[in-house]
Amino acid sequence: MERFCDGDQAAFEALFARHAGRVRGFLARMVRDGPLAEDLLQTTFLSVIRARGRYEPGTRFAPWLLTIGANAARDALRRRQHVEAYSRESEPAPSSVQPGVGDPGMRRQLEDALQQLHPDQREAVILSKVEGWSFEEIASMRGISVVAARVRAHRGYEKLRQLLGGLEEA
């Protein structure tokens, strides 16, 4: 990143090649929408270009990058929530059918449950359990205390237990 900040365009291409897959996966789990995750990936790297003057040399790049991506995902989720709330006012809600216990759709149930978490909790759960980040890394990335990162993840785990309670019997 320091080379890119100094004007080396090839360094940006290397950063993109090295980190795009991980960021895309993170964004896809956050927003659960492949095309939106692709758009957010592009937005994230455009933000890196725009924010390169604010990058502090010596800062770990991956947490800085994922912070930018997480902010983009949260913004997109807020926009989507606003649009969905507006469209629900004018259209009748479609009926939804939950897959049965033991159904091959168990992964889908987990993904649905993740989407019901508060974005901060979802982010903490995904970063800790899926991405394998420590709470210290999550705290550093989000600019919060380690305790706050643990609390967000714990609340997310508890909410998932509530939402997925029927799966324990399966």
What integer is the mean pLDDT of 94-113?
A: 59
One-letter amino acid of 67: T
Percentage, residues of the chain above pLDDT 70? 84
In whole angstroms, give the CA distance from residue 74 to residue 124: 13
What are the tens digits of pLDDT across the range 25-80? 999 998 988 999 999 999 999 999 999 999 999 888 999 999 999 999 988 888 87
pLDDT in the model for residue 93: 41
Q: What token pair was written down for 96? A: 């939804």
pLDDT reading at 1 higher than 60 = yes
Farthest-apart Cα atoms in the chain, separation:
57
| Whole-number Cα distances in Å, 19 to 32, 48, 95, 139, 142 | 19, 12, 39, 20, 18
Instruction: Return mean pLDDT, the chain.
Output: 83
pLDDT in the model for residue 80: 79
